[in-house]
Structures are given as C-alpha cells and as structure tokens.
Amino acid sequence: MTRLTELPNGLQLCPRCEERAFRPAPGVAACRKCAPSVVPVPVLKAKTSRGSRKKSADLGTSQQISTHLGAVAIAATVVVPFTSALSKNAMWQPVGRGHMIVREESAAARKSVADAIRAALAGARATKRKLHVALMVFKPTHRMDAINFGDVICDAVQDATGLNDRWYTLEVDWAIDRETPRIEITISQGDEGK
C-alpha cells in the first residue's frame, strides 16, 4: 500500500504528485488534488467574530468523495467559511432566569454544514463503526480555541450521517489565515471491522 511521507508541521508528501499536503483522511494515500472526484459546493456567507458581514471570498470550496480508495469506504472533505457561530462558546444565548437557548445564527451554521456534508456524501451511508472526523481550522486571529468547534461540527456530521457521535474519532488542527479564514472538515470511514 502506498503511504504519504511524513513531513514537519503535519504536512505529508503525496506519492502521486509529490507535492506537500495535509493528510485528507485516515487511510487515504493521496493528497486532496489527487483524490478521485471533486464536486463544488455553494460558498456560505461568513461573519466575523464581531458579527459584521464580510464579503464572501471564494474559498475553493470542494468536496471529495471516494467509494473505495484503499481501505476507505467513505471519504468526504467539505470546506466552509470560518464563523464564530460554529464554536460551542458562541452557541448559547441567555433568555432569563438561568435559561439558555441556541442562537439562530449557530443553528443556521450547523444546518448549512450538515447540508454540505450530506451533499458531499451523495448517498453513501455511514455504518455503526468508527467514523474519523478531522478538522483543520484556519482562524483569522488567535482569539478562539480551535477545539471548541469540534462539538458543533460533530453534531452537524451526526445530522448529516445519522450516525451517533459516540462512534467518532476527532482530530483537530489549526493555523492562522487572515485572508481566507475557513474550516476544512474531513470525514472518513474504513471498510475494516469495528
């Protein structure tokens, strides 16, 4: 089996095109450019952490689907604009007497991520075994913790796949990108047993 060569900072060398790239999914031995098919997804409007509208740049939103690439049964990557609404810290709104409700902006962001993942899977079904979820959070500043996006995004993956999030393994990485802040969500599930 061909493997990606490990490089510093989480980068790996693709055996097909020999370019440096992040690992697209566990068990996948190719970079995102060499993945079998790419389907465009509508670009979502991003909000800055202070709530002001920001012009939505084309983030190169793409999804990668492979039905059988090595030992991977499901592999999909979705890129969405960075928004603080996907953080568990920005999700709740107090309504009085200690009661809390989910903010509308957070619910809408979670729904749009779930819809994008559902479209990327294109009918592929997740089964009751480990589902690998990898997040690459490109933050505009150091102000937010990348790990806080894991809960809401895993809930969105659960909405899209119907598989309870107790079956998930989660990998979170982050980088600063002031020009095009975004979140890359990669989900994969292998053919192997539990």
Domains, the chain, in order of start with CATH, read 26-190 (3.30.1330.70)
3-class state of residue 169 by DSSP: strand
Q: What's the predicted TM-score (pTM) here?
A: 0.64
**What angle separates helix 104-121 from helix 149-161, to the nearest 10 degrees?**
50
Q: Are strands 38-40 and 5-6 parallel, antiparallel or unpaired?
A: unpaired
Indicate whether 177 pLDDT > 70. yes
% of the chain beyond a pLDDT of 90: 48
Report the candidate in 110, 25, 112 with the shortest Cα–Cα distance to residue 64.
25
Cα(78)–Cα(64) distance, rounded to whole angstroms? Answer: 8
pLDDT in the model for residue 2:
47
Residue 151 confidence (pLDDT) above 80: yes
Q: Is the pLDDT of residue 57 over 70?
A: no
pLDDT tens digits for range 77-136: 999 999 999 999 989 999 888 899 999 999 999 999 999 999 998 888 888 999 999 999
